[in-house]
Amino acid sequence: MPKPGFSGGDGRRRRSRSSRYAAARFPNAPGASRITTCSRNIRLERRVVGDMSASVRVDVWSDIACPWCYIGKRKFEAALAEFDGAADVTVTYRSFELAPDTPVDFDGSEVDFLAGYKGMPREQVEQMLRQVSAVAESVGLRYDFDALRHTKTLLAHQVLHHAKKHGKQLDLVERLFQAYFTEGRHVGRAEELAELAAEVGLDRDETFRKLQEGTYADAVQDDLRQAKAFGIRGVPFYVFNERYAVSGAQQPDVFLQALRKARSEGVSS
């Protein structure tokens, strides 16, 4: 498949580490590419529960620490609300780490992280935060970057796989985004993640135990390998029926077009 650029970036690859991170995390515009065609030699695991006749399957590579992923979620939901086949759409969230070298406990703000840990000018960081906050507000989200607690998201991805097994993944995705971007909650530790999971109906003790045991560590790595196979370098990244891809927090009409296009060709075989 075509190698998509960063979510909102221009696709250039030869950048410094800090500028690559910034392009993926805080782009100037939410998504340069539109709908592309995926390679047909890539296969995701089959659905084993739910409606096997669903006309559209959407796999979303996302990171809880990505502000554009939450914005993209709202825009995709707006498209889904306009899609007359919404009841036949199955959505699955996949793991992607924008900054895998992030410490679990970072002592500082988002500005401190990007300016100090990633070596970006503070003025540039502050401008990017203002830009993304304005876009977030336009879709009904109020980001609080002053309260945000920057952390490694590996365990957050594991808990989402646990929620998926129990049919609660979509509920927990929303809860984690809300906790991270608007409430200043810590989403990098097993204890806090278990508490948040309990809020959407999962058993707290079981969730904590699964995280401690690393039950879903391999599932997360599988997602990361699939992302690499697709050529994904930035998120959010949406794959429709393994045929079409949308990169970035696109406008609802782009997602709606992809949904209709995927439905017109039926379920991937």
**Mean pLDDT, residues 227-235:** 94
User: How far are the Cα atoms of 45, 72, 76, 172 from residue 86, in angstroms, in the given order?
Assistant: 22, 17, 11, 20
pLDDT tens string 236-254: 999 999 999 999 999 999 9
Task: State pLDDT tens for residues 42-98.
Answer: 455 543 333 444 589 999 999 999 999 999 999 999 999 999 999 999 999 999 999
Give the per-residue pLDDT at 265: 84
The pTM of this model reads 0.84
Structural domains in the chain, sorted by start:
17-265 (3.40.30.10)
Least confident of 58-62, 90-94, 110-114, 151-155: 110-114
